[in-house]
Amino acid sequence: MKRFEELFAPHLDAAYNLARWLTGNDSAARDVVQESALRAFRFLHRFADGNAKAWFLTIVRNESYTWLKASAGHHWVSIGDELPEDDAALSHGQSPELLAIHTENAVLIQQALCALPPVFREVIVLKDLEDMPYKDIALVVDIPIGTVMSRLARARAMLKLELLKLHDHE
């Protein structure tokens, strides 16, 4: 129990943040983190000395997707990484961060992030909100590091598009 607390207790906030952003639901996020902690405890013997945060967030991610697939009222669609290459908004000079500052409205940022498919939302949450290195994100999401970088670039472009749409509707 002591080893479990030392390894995973420091990452409970990150686990909740990831689950909350993926499920879009406070109650579900708490359930996902609780189930994930239980699984991490149950399978602690499988954890070698490595990156505890990445291992735990991998479990949280998997549990979040399980919840999304099983949840009534959520439409589950597998989305590829592709975006139209000639999208005019992608060439817009402002970064998502600058657009966020200009909108001066955290609710719009949250709406824009929630509008992204989970596979894109998770990389933004892990990189920009949890400040995880690319190599750790690659472990959590189980994709090559190059794919993490390209998916993050696409996710940021999608976020920028969503912010532009929301900003235009003000």
- Model pLDDT for residues 118-168, shown as the tens digit of each residue: 999 999 999 988 889 999 999 999 999 999 999 999 999 999 998 888 777
Instruction: Supply the DSSP symbol for 74.
Output: P
Percent of the chain topping pLDDT 70:
78
C-alpha separations of 138 from 57, 134, 142, 144 in Å: 11, 6, 5, 6
Query: Per the confidence metrics, is the pTM higher than 0.85?
Result: no
Between residues 98 and 16, the one the model is more confident about: 16
Q: What pLDDT is recorded for position 95?
A: 55
Percent of the chain topping pLDDT 90:
45
The band of 93, judged by pLDDT with boundaries at 50, 70 and 90, is very low
Average pLDDT of every residue of the chain: 81
**Contact 37/8 with Cβ under 8 angstroms?**
yes
Q: Radius of gyration over alpha carbons of the chain, in Å?
A: 17
Structural domains of the chain in order of their starting residue, each with its CATH number: 1-74+94-168 (1.20.140.160)
Closest CA to 6 of 70, 65, 49, 69: 49
Average pLDDT of the residues in 30-47: 91
- Is the pLDDT at 115 greater than 60? The verdict is yes
- Which token pair is 112? 């824009």
The band of 34, judged by pLDDT with boundaries at 50, 70 and 90, is very high
Cα separation, 6 vs 10, in Å, equals: 7
Q: Which residue has the tokens 């190059």?
A: 146
The band of 97, judged by pLDDT with boundaries at 50, 70 and 90, is low
Closest CA to 68 of 112, 25, 34: 25
For Cα atoms 121, 123, 128, give the angle at the middle one, nearest 5 degrees: 95
Name the 3-class secondary structure at 66. helix
Q: Which residue has the tokens 């993490």?
A: 148
Instruction: Supply the DSSP symbol for 9.
Output: G
The band of 112, judged by pLDDT with boundaries at 50, 70 and 90, is confident
